[in-house]
Amino acid sequence: MNNYKLIKLNSARNCLRYVIRAFNIKEIYLPYYLCPIVRSSVFKEKCKIVYYHIDKTFKPASKIPLDAYILYPDYFGICSDIVNDLSQKYKNLIVDNAHSFYSEPKGIACFNSLRKFFPSLADGAFLYTSKTLDMEFPSDEYIYKPHILSYEELCKNENRLDDQEIKRISTSTYDGFLSVDTKEEKKKRRENFKTFHNKYGNSNCLKIKFNNNIVPFGYPYLLKSPKEADDIVKELNSKGINVYRYWNNMPDNYEEKIFYNSLVVIMT
């Protein structure tokens, strides 16, 4: 079992950059199906990327050397069983828990994202790592505002984070996190997930196994076609329900693009 050190940084993307430096990683395996910001973070560290495919259950579907450094995202917070299996197979697994704040640490390192789970927080991430850097980072100076950010504020904040180097979490953001009722947030997400699963589970092409060990980021709903996905997005948006699509800028030659264009994530 790894002995983890908790490092509080300003963003999940910078947690990954920290890990690359700490383990002196020169080459890392990333899934094609991934936020482009993560890829950019790896490029900033001048680390070579080798891409791998995942199947329709989100399991890696490419052959990966057992001693390779591999990043695996706990997609939508429903892939804890896959993470457990991979942690037993790959000795250099790094887990991206941006969609799974409440998960137990696995692999040589893992990191989450405060702002993904708690809408009033604009930044912040917790990194659990078995190896640390012998250097200090400045603290972020972001001033926490105790309200859910507007769309305009979210866009400005994204641009701000894109330009940020590795920094420690700002004092005001961490204080804001301490005021969050994490138990209530956990309960709410699980209840909302169950509500959507009861409504859409029979028509969902994903066979989701929901258990007491997961706290989902959202409800992933796989339709039979991109057209059906477009229709459900319009329907739910008209009811004031936020629905995300991940990720729109996938390469045109990516063989699973049609599959993922049929996937929507209903926010819980």
Q: What are the tens digits of pLDDT across the range 238-247? A: 999 989 888 7
Among 157, 178, 199, the domain-final residue is 178
Q: What's the total number of domains in the chain? A: 2
**Can you tell me the distance from the alpha carbon of 218 to that of 234, in angstroms, rounded to the nearest whole number?**
17
CATH number of residue 38's parent domain: 3.40.640.10
pLDDT for 262 equals 86
Q: What are the tens digits of pLDDT across the range 167-217? A: 999 888 899 899 999 999 999 999 999 999 999 999 999 888 777 778 999
Shared domain check, 218 and 120: no
The segments of the chain whose pLDDT lies below 50 read: none
Please, what's the b/e burial string for 135-161 (b: 16 or more CB within 10 A of its CB; e: otherwise)?
eeeeebebebeeeebeeeeeeeeeeeb
Domain containing 237 equals 182-267
Structure tokens at 216: 């989902």
Shared domain check, 197 and 135: no
pLDDT for 133 equals 96
Shared domain check, 168 and 187: no
Among 155, 178, 201, the domain-final residue is 178
Shared domain check, 193 and 167: no
Q: Are 118 and 180 in contact (CB under 8 A)?
A: yes
Among 118, 152, 178, the domain-final residue is 178
pLDDT for 147 equals 52
pLDDT for 140 equals 75
Q: Which one-letter DSSP state was computed for residue 150?
A: P
Shared domain check, 253 and 157: no
The CA distances from residue 149 to 35, 153, 267, in Å, are: 21, 6, 16
Shared domain check, 207 and 164: no
pLDDT for 36 equals 87
> DSSP alpha helices (H): ranges in the chain?
12-22, 36-44, 80-89, 114-117, 151-162, 171-178, 182-200, 226-238, 257-261
Shared domain check, 242 and 109: no
